[in-house]
Structure formats: C-alpha cells, structure tokens
Structure 1
C-alpha cells in the first residue's frame, strides 16, 4: 500500500513555468486586506501593494522611488520616523492610533514596522504593514459613547437599575439603586461580585421570611445568589425594613444577563390606601345617611304611641302612689320618659342638629342603660356582673345617648350568648367602668363565641350583621360607633380572656 509524503520546509517546490515566486508573492500581497510597503533606509518606497496604491491614489510605479515626505507629508513622516528607526535597528514594532492624512483625512491605523533583508547585518529596509481599523474604532467609540450616555441617564434617574452578568458580577449599578438599598458606592464598580451585595444585606440582618437567620453567613450568601441568578422574570413587590414598598422588575437577556429595575411605589400605595379609605368613608356616610333617614321615620312613628305610654305611665304612677305597685309604676314612668328622650335624640341626629353637651355622670348613665336590659338578661339565665369605679369625673355629652349605647352593647352580648347556648357553661356578661389616664374606659364582655379577627372592623358597618336573617338589623353597633365618635371617643372589639368578645369604649374626660 502506498503512502502520501508531505513536503518538508527544506524541500523545494517547483512552480508552474509561467508563475515565478516573485509574481506569486505580489499576487498574495495584492489581495491582502492590508496596506504593505517596503521602504529603504533613505525612506524611499521600494514596493507597495495594490491596497496601499489605491489608498494613496497613485499607481504603484509612480510611488516606487518617492520618499515618504513626498507621499505622506513631512509632518506624518517625521512622526513615524522614530518607529521606522527601531525597525531599521532590527526590532519589530507594533503600534496603533489616529493618523491625519493629507488626502484621506483622519484614520485609525494599526502599524507593524519590521526589518527587511540584511543577511545578518543591518537591514537595508523595513516593511510597513498597515491595517485600517477606522470603521471598527468608530463603532467602538460610538458604542462607548452610547454606553456613557446611557450610564449618565441611569445615574440621573431616581429609580434603581442594576445589570448582573451571567457570571454573577455587576455590569452596572446606578446611584438610584445604591441609595434605595443603602449600599456603599464602592459596590457600584463593574465586576463586583453579586455576593458582595448579598453579604452586605445579610450583615444588616435583612432576611427574607423563608430564610433561617441562624445559618452560616456564607451559606446564606451562596444560596441567595443562586436563587437570584435562577429566579424567573417578572414583577414583584418588596417591603423594606423602613416601611417603603419597592416594585422590582426582572428581565433576562438571551446570554443570561439579568436586568433589574427598582421603583419606590410607597407614595403610590399610600395614595391608593387613602383613596380606599375615602371611598370607604363615603360608603359609611351614605349608609349612615340611610340609617338617619330610617331612624327619623321610626322615631316619628314611635313618638305618638310613646306619648300615650308616657301619659298613661304618669297616671298609673299617681294612682299607685302609696300602694305596693308604686315603685314599679315609677320605674315604668321613668323608662317612658327616657324612651322619649332617646327618640328626641334620634330625631336630632337624623336632622343633624347639634348633640346635647352637658356634664354626664358616667356611672349613672351606665346604670340607666342597664335598667333597659337587665331584666331581659336575667330572664334568659345570664349572669350580669357590674363593676363601676366610684368617684369618676364627668364627661361632656348626652347621658341618654350613653345609656342607649350601653343598652345596645349589653343587648348585643345577650344575643351572642343566646346563639351559643351551652348547658355545661354558665353564661356571663361583665360591665366595667374604669379611668385610664385622661379617658374613661367602658368594657362590656361576654363569654360567648367571640368575634373573628377578620370581622372586627366590619361589625361596626351599617347593616352588617352576623345574626340569622330576621334576627338582626346591623344598626345597633353602627349606632354605638356613631355615639362614641360624637363624644370624641372610640369603640373596638377585643378577645375576652377565656373566650368571648369584649367591646371597649374609650371616652375623654371633660376638660378642666
């Protein structure tokens, strides 16, 4: 079997008769994408290729024999002289830069100056090999200018921006991002590992809810960096420790680069909450207006028969005077009068007349409210405990409205206990009145089923009720809140120790 023998460097290769080695060399140089010239020690051109001649705008035979001063001018020739001297001394020199030509204006040239010939002695000439990189350099400069422009824009905006390369190193982090997260300026240096940012946050004890802050620091850093680099694209919101809300948008480029933008939307969220609160307040006002109209109608209808009840109770009290029924008749008369005042108060509220304001003995007002419901509660087998602190200073308000508030709260507690009757457990309502600082606090507690946390605000909304259909109107607790606010106070619901609900009314003491 025959084998193929490759030529060795020392082997002579015979060219076809019509093609000489010189012609072959000229052919190669003429198609080379570079300008080539051989220049003597006297700085005369001995050879130029086609690319060089076309750039110079002269035929090669005209350039041969010309000096560099004659072809490119004295200024550029003098500038290149030190480099060509080094080539004539036997050194190969590479350099590049912008060159101003007389004919071809400003160009960016990569030069190679190399010694040529000599046979062991000083070379008689040098080769000037030039690559024109003008277009490439201009594109690079344009790209650099665009990057600088983009960086200037990003540095000038308040929003945060960072770009993370596929190698988990920072390509760009603007000032907005650094300020938003409190990072030092040194971390904005391109090439900074993403781990340095994560480590900074871990050392400030900024952990996510799912993270175990007892793990070693570097374990947390490595895990979080991996999560960031593999996290899906999209938008999410992050709550900062100082209460600010940051909207984060993440995009991933084809090469794995991650672009993150950060917008502080705290003001937007607060505005949205304010708008919701305003809408809720408007709805409450509309409901309260509806309640006011309803109460006005009801009060008007009740007023006439109530007048008859009041008159008959007065006559009954007079006739029962001196008999065993006198005390009961007097209670009926007083209750009828109180009902008349409550109706008048409801009418005044419906007509938006100023509420009555006078010193009120809270203990007496609470006892009056209990008188309206105590018998009903005891008849239902409910134990009623009353603990009123003696000697409380007065508040400024309407005693009948306070009594109405207490009656409503005790009635509400009675209904809650009735809906959860448990033969093994004694049912109990506790009414207490205490001074706390500059306020008087009324608590009406029961040991019933309690109020779920999700409903603790809604139970005060007009027409909202947790009672079965036909058993509640949803007006009582809304009216209690209206009365409490009209007296400069508040009402809230809490858990009762051991189970149940406690309604807490806080009222300010009278000034002075």
Structure 2
C-alpha cells in the first residue's frame, strides 16, 4: 500500500447499544481513569459532527486541550481536509454500519501519519444512532521502519566478536595430593589442563 492508498472494511449493521452490558456500571471517575490511561486514541463524535469526548491520547494527538476539542466541530479540530475525508463515511456510520480502516492521512499540525481506526456507532436500545465511537492507533514510526531498505538496518548491527584463545589455564581434575606424596623429596606443581577452569589438582614431581 503506497502513501496515497487506504484500506477500508465495512462490517455491516454492527453497533453498540443493542444489549445491556453484563458488567456493573462504573463510577465516572473510574471510567475516566481507564479511558485516559489506555494506549489508544478514543473519541466520540455526535450527529452534529462535533466532539462529545476525547481521551488523553486523542487530545495529545490533536495537540489541543480539552476545552478546544469538546463541543468543537471536526473541521475545526482536525482540519477541513480531514473532515472532507470523513463526510463520505458519515451517512453509513449513522445508519448503523461499523468501519475499520488504515492508511496515510495528512494533518495540518501533525503532517503525514499512518493511522488505524475503528468506528463503531452507538445506538441506545438499538434505536437511532446517537454518536460514533472512534478507536485509533498511530503506527507511523512502525511503517517508516518497514519501508527503510534492509541495508540500513544491517549497518546498525553490532560487529560479531571474534573468538580468541583464552590465556587462562585449565587444570586437570584428580584426587588431592596425599601426605606421602607431599614428602620432603618431592615438590608440588600445578598440572597443565584445558583453559578456563580453576586449579583443582596437583602433580607430584620428584626432587631427584
């Protein structure tokens, strides 16, 4: 996929609100903490194409504080070009279809970014869709690394360490010297063994 293409996948009539969640409702403070600490952008857009909510990741991506996003039109926050790209999807989304897409997008304040987004309609009790919940991830850095030539990464690999013979002497294992072997007529000397092990035995050499 080049930088001008996007991939789309409509999932048909698949929206939230048809069934009540089996989990008990969470306190607003806890829900806010959960949404603000997940590693994905979460935003909610109303039928008037204005932001109802955006979590911390989304606000950081937009580069705006909450008061400049909540209640603001998509074109104001994201730019006219991004809003124009959203409009063709809006009718199907507010009709109850879900959308997953990925591709390159040009933002006025962020430049060209590679995004993956899932848009899910929210229709309480299965009635009219009231909002669109958007989940997004920014994979720009990953895509740029994938497009780099392999030779660049090969030059960054650490050089392989050459194997040099060790100067440490190894010692042959045997039973410890006996009292009789360590007589005045003999001297003890370490035996030469394979490199790397501690001296664990001794050889007896006659002094004669």
TM-score of the superposed pair, with normalisation by structure 1: 0.25
Shift of residue 119, structure 1, vs aligned partner = 2.2
Change (3 A) 1:110 1:12: closer
- 1:347-404 per-position Cα deviation (integer Å, ceiling 9, x unaligned): xxxxxxxxxxxxxxxxxxxxxxxxxxxxxxxxxxxxxxxxxxxxxxxxxxxxxxxxxx
Work out whether 1:135 is the aligned partner of 2:141. yes
Unaligned stretches of 5+ residues in structure 1: 1-8, 14-19, 151-512
Work out whether 1:56 is the aligned partner of 2:45. no
For 2:23 and 2:38, how far apart are their aligned partners in 1?
A: 26
Is the 1:111–1:131 Cα contact (8 Å) retained in structure 2?
yes
Map of 1:87 onto structure 2: 93
**Residue number among 69, 78, 82 corresponding to 1:72 in the alignment:** 78
Map of 2:50 onto structure 1: 44
Map of 2:105 onto structure 1: 99
Structure (1/2) with the larger strand percentage: 2
Map of 1:264 onto structure 2: none
Residue 126 of structure 2 aligns to a residue in which SS? coil
Is the 1:46–1:64 Cα contact (8 Å) retained in structure 2?
yes
Change (3 A) 1:32 1:121: same
Counterparts of residues 143-292 of structure 1 (less than 5 Å): 145-146=149-150
Structure (1/2) with the larger helix percentage: 1
Map of 1:420 onto structure 2: none
Unaligned stretches of 5+ residues in structure 2: 1-20, 155-208
Q: Which runs of 4+ in 1 moved over 3 A?
A: 9-13
Residue 104 of structure 2 aligns to a residue in which SS? strand
Is the 1:83–1:113 Cα contact (8 Å) retained in structure 2?
no
* Greater relative contact order structure (CA < 8 Å, 6+ sep): 2
- 1:156-179 per-position Cα deviation (integer Å, ceiling 9, x unaligned): xxxxxxxxxxxxxxxxxxxxxxxx
Bigger Rg, structure 1 or 2 = 1
Change (3 A) 1:11 1:74: closer
For 1:68 and 1:88, how far apart are their aligned partners in 2?
A: 15
